[in-house]
Each structure stands twice: as C-alpha cells, then as structure tokens.
C-alpha cells in the first residue's frame, strides 16, 4: 500500500469513526431525554463530519500529489476540490446562510 493510499484510508476511517461516535452519542442522549443543546450539536457535528470526509480525502490527495511533484494529478484534484468548495458556497448562498 502506497503512502497516498494509507493517508486516504486514515482520513476516511477517522471521518467515519468520528461521525459515527458523534451520531451515536447524540442519539443516545436524545433517547435518554437529555435536555439542552448537546444532543442536537452532537447530531449536527456527526452529519457535518460525515459530509466533509470526502472533501478531506480530496484535500489529502492534492497535498500528496503536490509533495510527489505529480503536477497533472495535483491540478486535477485541485479542480475537484475547487468544485466541492464552490458547490458548498453556492448551497449556503442560495439558502441564505452566507
């Protein structure tokens, strides 16, 4: 397994584990009837981490390709990252959150 593959695997695994932990804890607190903002914050954080995990994977790939001086793949992954960022900004703008 190459360094790039190990890095990507780590990012994906960490994203899923953190997201799952936040979602599970938020669900348990909700089912236990805990009042306050904590259960909602945990659930929202879990979903946010899960949604941002693929973007983090692209960011890691871009950094790895730049460090390897593989400019063609670095440019391609940078374009994908720019499209992901643009779509997130567009969603926020059109939903009047930004």
Taken in order 90, 44, 20, 49, the sign of the CA dihedral is: positive
Q: In sequence order, what are the residues at sequence separation of 6 or more whose Cβ sits closer than 8 angstroms to the Cβ of residue 60?
A: 7, 8, 11
- Residue 64 has what pLDDT? 95
Q: Are the CB atoms for 11 and 57 separated by under 8 Å?
A: yes
Q: Are the CB atoms for 50 and 16 separated by under 8 Å?
A: yes
H helix or E strand, kind and range, residue 39: helix 38-67
Q: What is the pLDDT of residues 69-90, one digit of tens each?
A: 999 999 999 999 999 999 989 9
Q: What is the pTM of this model?
A: 0.81
Mean pLDDT on 26-36: 94
Nearest partner of 84 among 46, 49, 56, 47, judged by Cα: 56
- Alpha carbon distance 78, 16 (integer Å): 23
């Amino acid at each position: 397994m190459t360094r790039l593959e190990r890095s990507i695997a780590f990012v994906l695994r960490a994203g899923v584990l953190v997201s799952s932990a936040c979602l599970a804890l938020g669900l348990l607190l909700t089912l236990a009837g805990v009042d306050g903002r904590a259960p909602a914050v945990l659930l929202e954080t879990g979903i946010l981490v899960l949604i941002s995990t693929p973007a983090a994977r692209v960011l890691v790939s871009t950094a790895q390709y730049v460090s390897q001086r593989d400019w063609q793949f670095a440019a391609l992954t940078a374009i994908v990252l720019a499209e992901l960022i643009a779509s997130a900004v567009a969603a926020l703008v059109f939903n009047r959150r930004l």
